[in-house]
Amino acid sequence: MKAKLTFADIGVTVTVPQGTRIIEVSEKVGAGIEYGCRESDCGTCLTEVVSGMEHLSEKSTFETNTLAQHKAPPNMRLACQTLVLGDAVVKPRG
Ligand code: FES
């Protein structure tokens, strides 16, 4: 199964295999999502989900805790942790 992941900041849509991490794609296409630890710890990769939140993987306990530490609103995920399971649109946090 494939999923379409769109990066709203650069207007690029990529078709990826289900289960691909956002971080794996955003780096390749040059989207403006930044990274630090890649281990759900630093919160640098906080990413706004414009649409398709229901098509993303469940949050791990680590991700939930990191999102809470950064007071992230419900429409944010960590790009280093989130797997794309269906079509979604994301953009770097504002
Ligand atoms: S890169 Fe550190 S939490 Fe994602």
Mind listing the pLDDT tens digit of every residue in the chain (94 residues)? 999 999 999 999 999 999 999 999 999 999 999 999 999 999 999 999 999 999 999 999 999 999 999 999 999 999 999 999 999 999 998 7
- Whole-angstrom distance, CA of residue 84 vs CA of residue 16: 8
Does ligand 1 come within 6 angstroms of the Cβ of 8?
no
Count CB atoms within 10 A of the CB of residue 4. Answer: 15
Does ligand 1 come within 6 angstroms of the Cβ of 10?
no
Q: Indicate the SS3 state at residue 35.
A: coil
pLDDT at res. 66: 98
pLDDT at res. 13: 98
pTM of the model: 0.95
Question: In order of start, what are the domains of the chain with their CATH numbers?
Answer: 2-92 (3.10.20.30)
Ligand 1: which residue has its CA nearest to atom 1? 38
Residue 13's φ and ψ, nearest 5 degrees, are -115, 130
pLDDT at res. 94: 72
